[in-house]
């Protein structure tokens, strides 16, 4: 056990409650009650209150009476740093500060939290919180929480790592209700010391943890979180729920005193590290519960075999799976011949397979579908009808080695609960409804794809041909020159210092042309009237130049108009949390309004970048929609990867964006480009 180990916190030999009280309503009294089961199981529980003669007068006295690894501190915020220092001096190795009044409250609270950090730095004691409702370790008998009902959370193999103490407990209760239970459930609070990567690293070494639910609101150290998730997901599944899809930043900041992290970037980073992403807390429970029971082998393109004993729920399940991008392949002729001998002729048997009702043949049907070469996982749904079929026996009969099963068992009552428990104990993931089956199945698919991708070679170093001499400021003409060095196509253009040069450019290029204000300091030219399109004649040009002059133009760019097409936005920038990232989305002047983008960590391979457009809601527009152009994803992948490589090769480069990147029938062409650099003294290669 290392000096920074979290074992003394989550599996302590003894616990001291500092600020314990006889008043049942006070935090110290509630904590003492929560931890009473720890004492009943033989752990050393010490109550500390300097003003109560029936308790220990100090932490040192409590430690002399028995081993104390963990101090649960229940005193006002201003007193917490001193108590934490006293605990460290007494040999206590971990502490929890549940109360608020720290960075999340602002004012003096910021100083109180800083003082806690100083004690941690000077003594090495591990600190959970402040501003957290604590943690649960049911298997160890430790419920360091002030939330009523924690004693009813049953032990299991799922761990929860949550930014919020409230979410931590909500997930622990939901996992218990779903029958999975909890191995460890931690609410990080303000994260003054112990953060998500610390707990994830601890769980990576815990053989009792089968799967981990991760709830993220903000990230202080992106690369460390990514590395911890990558290390853990190689051993056991990680399912992540990231908050912040909509405008919740102000509330998030007031919650923990930390800024909300970019939702898209965080999700992209966690997916790259091997985590399964979910959209809400219910889906998180279904997904992590399923993955705690069963896990698919790595597979790049897994197929789902869908079996339903009732057509209506089966349609809901199929629709949900299709919406999640699951592949539901048609079964082979051999499988269909087998099924035709088991099922009535009017039932649907191509995939999904509809049995009509659960009957004695259900086990054989499941086995036949599982044996189909195109099926890597079975998703099923059955209403509980004990007079028609023994679902548990059928599921056991229908299991195929290497093909996990997710089964929805609809119904209510103790008999249904027992059957669901028996299925889980047999290694079959269980849900109560079609949506839960779809969420669980999608999680298994995503985990299998992530593990397959983890075996692929990582992005190589930036090729030798990538320019490494980016410096200074760039106007649009200079930015496009740089893109040309990367092999990105642009339209013919001329940079013009005066009107005469602009007229000469029009004569040379021929109309129609776009005429733009040329100034590195102006990033959004359209907003100030700095772009005029379809200029054909000299009179048109003079009118456009007049308007550009009124907008403050000193130089002009005259550029041939591109053919019509679909506008994309691609770019690369340095994220303040995760470092270099790349972006692909639907672009043009409405890019910010649409916000239909995919984000990835850089550097990345062209093949990885080529997969990004498939994540867009408007992906169909890029595949020849109504006779439109078809995107060459390999070419786009090459461009996006090159932008990431350019960022990696030039520490002074902050951002490069091509918007729009026009997709036409002749291919991709950059119509506008922005490059942002920083001062050389501020450049850091690792940011």
CA distances from 166 to 163, 240, 260 (A): 9, 17, 17
Task: Specify the pLDDT at position 188.
Answer: 97
Report the alpha-carbon distance of residue 137 to residue 6 in Å, rounded.
12
d(Cα 288, Cα 278) in Å, to the nearest integer? 10
Q: Where are the beta strands (DSSP E) in 179-275?
A: 182-187, 211-216, 238-242
- Give the burial string for 528-550 (b: 16+ CB within 10 Å, else e): eebbbeebeeeebbeebbeebee
d(Cα 458, Cα 604) in Å, to the nearest integer? 7
Give the pLDDT score at 465: 74
pLDDT of residue 256: 40
DSSP secondary structure, 10-75, as one string: HS-SEEEEET--SSTTSHHHHHHHHTHHHHHTT-EEEEE-TT-TTSBSSHHHHHHHS---EEEE-S
Query: What is the predicted pLDDT for the residue at 454?
Result: 82
Cis peptide leading into 363, omega within 30 of 0?
no
Q: Is the Cβ–Cβ distance between 135 and 96 less than 8 Å?
A: yes
Closest CA to 224 of 251, 196, 244, 249: 196
**What pLDDT score does 347 carry?**
86
Q: What is the predicted pLDDT for the residue at 460?
A: 53
The ranges of the chain with pLDDT < 50 are 248, 251-260, 685-687
Backbone torsions φ then ψ of 572, nearest 5 degrees: -145, 140
pLDDT at 260: 45
Q: Is beta strand 304-308 parallel, antiparallel or unpaired with respect to 353-354?
A: parallel
600 and 608 Cβ atoms separated by less than 8 Å: yes
Q: Would you state the pLDDT for residue 17? A: 97
Q: How far from 341 is each of 137, 337, 375, CA to CA, in Å? A: 51, 7, 20
Q: Percent of the chain, pLDDT > 90?
A: 83
What are the pLDDT digits (tens) for 400-449? Answer: 999 999 999 999 999 999 999 999 999 999 999 999 999 999 999 999 99
Digit-coded pLDDT (tens) for 606-619:
999 999 999 998 99
The edge-to-edge listing of strands for the beta sheet with 276-278 is: 142-145, 134-137, 182-187, 155-162, 211-216, 238-242, 276-278
Q: What is the pLDDT of residue 680?
A: 53
Tokens of 575: 């994220």
Distance CA 128, CA 114 (A): 14
Within 8 A by CB and 6+ apart from 131, the residues are: 97, 98, 99, 100, 101, 102, 103, 104, 165, 189, 190, 256, 257
- pLDDT at 683 (0 to 100): 54
pLDDT attached to residue 247: 61
Q: Can you point out the beta strands (E) in 109-252?
A: 126-128, 134-137, 142-145, 155-162, 182-187, 211-216, 238-242
Domains (range + CATH), the chain: 1-128 (3.40.50.720), 153-293 (3.40.50.261), 302-454 (3.40.50.261), 492-560 (3.30.1490.20), 566-682 (3.30.470.20)
**H/E run at residue 508:** helix 499-509
């Amino acid at each position: 056990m290392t000096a920074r180990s979290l074992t003394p916190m989550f599996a302590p030999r003894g616990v001291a409650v500092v600020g314990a009280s006889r008043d049942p309503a006070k935090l110290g009294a509630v904590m003492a009650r929560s931890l009473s089961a720890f004492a009943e199981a033989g752990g050393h529980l010490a109550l500390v209150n300097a003003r109560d003669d029936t308790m220990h007068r100090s932490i040192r006295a409590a430690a002399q009476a028995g081993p104390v690894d963990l101090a649960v501190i229940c005193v006002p915020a201003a007193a917490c740093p001193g108590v934490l220092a006293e605990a460290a001096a007494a040999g206590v190795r971990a502490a929890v500060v549940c109360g608020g009044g720290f960075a999340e409250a602002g004012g003096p609270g910021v100083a109180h939290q800083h003082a806690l950090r100083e004690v941690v730095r000077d003594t090495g004691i591990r600190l959970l919180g402040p501003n957290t409702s604590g943690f649960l370790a049911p298997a160890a008998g430790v419920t360091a929480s002030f939330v009523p009902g924690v004693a009813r959370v049953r032990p299991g193999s799922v761990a929860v790592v949550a930014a919020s103490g409230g979410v931590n407990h909500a997930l622990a209760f939901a996992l218990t209700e779903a029958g999975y239970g909890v191995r460890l459930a931690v609410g990080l609070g303000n994260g003054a010391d112990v953060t998500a990567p610390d707990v994830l690293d601890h769980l990576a070494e815990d053989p009792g943890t089968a799967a981990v639910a991760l709830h993220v609101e903000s990230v202080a150290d992106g690369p460390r979180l990514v590395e911890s998730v990558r290390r853990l997901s190689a051993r056991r599944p990680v399912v992540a729920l990231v908050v912040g899809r909509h405008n919740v930043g102000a509330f998030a900041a007031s919650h923990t005193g930390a800024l909300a992290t970019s939702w898209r970037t965080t999700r992209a980073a966690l997916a790259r590290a091997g985590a399964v992403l979910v959209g809400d807390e219910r889906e998180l429970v279904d997904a992590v519960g399923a993955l705690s029971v069963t896990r698919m082998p790595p597979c790049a393109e897994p197929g789902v075999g869908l079996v339903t004993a009732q057509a209506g729920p089966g349609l809901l399940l199929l629709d949900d799976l299709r919406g999640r991008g699951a592949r539901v392949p048609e079964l082979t002729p051999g499988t269909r011949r087998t099924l035709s001998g088991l099922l009535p002729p009017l039932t649907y048997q191509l995939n999904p397979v509809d049995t009509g009702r659960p009957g004695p043949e259900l086990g054989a049907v499941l086995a036949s579908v599982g044996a189909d070469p195109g099926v890597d996982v079975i998703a099923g749904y059955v209403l509980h009808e004990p007079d028609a079929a023994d679902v548990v026996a059928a599921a056991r009969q229908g299991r195929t080695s290497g093909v996990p099963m997710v089964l929805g068992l609809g119904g209510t009552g103790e008999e249904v609960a027992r059957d669901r428990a028996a299925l889980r104990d047999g290694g079959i993931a269980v849900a109560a409804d079609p949506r839960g089956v779809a969420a669980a199945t999608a999680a298994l698919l995503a985990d299998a794809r992530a593990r397959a991708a983890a075996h692929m070679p990582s992005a190589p170093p930036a090729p030798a041909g990538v320019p490494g001499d980016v410096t200074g400021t760039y106007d649009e003409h200079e930015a496009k020159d740089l893109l040309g060095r990367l092999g990105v196509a642009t339209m013919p253009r001329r940079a013009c210092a005066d009107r005469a040069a602009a007229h000469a450019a029009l004569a040379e290029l021929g109309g129609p042309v776009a005429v733009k204000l040329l100034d590195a300091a102006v990033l959004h030219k359209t907003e100030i009237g700095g772009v005029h399109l379809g200029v054909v004649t000299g009179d048109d040009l003079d009118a456009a130049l007049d308007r550009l002059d009124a907008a403050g133009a000193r130089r002009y760019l005259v550029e041939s108009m591109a053919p019509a097409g679909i506008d994309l936005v691609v770019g690369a920038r340095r994220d303040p949390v995760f470092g270099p990232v790349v972006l692909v989305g639907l672009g043009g002047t409405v890019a910010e309004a649409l916000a239909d983008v995919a984000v990835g960590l850089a550097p990345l391979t062209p093949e990885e970048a080529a997969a990004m457009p498939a994540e867009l809601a408007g992906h169909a527009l890029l595949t020849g929609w109504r006779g439109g152009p078809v995107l060459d994803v390999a070419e786009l992948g090459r461009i996006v990867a090159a932008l990431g490589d350019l960022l990696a090769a030039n520490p002074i480069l902050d951002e490069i964006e091509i918007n729009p990147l026009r997709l036409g029938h002749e291919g991709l062409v950059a119509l506008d480009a922005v490059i942002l650099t920083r001062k050389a003294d501020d450049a850091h290669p690792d940011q």
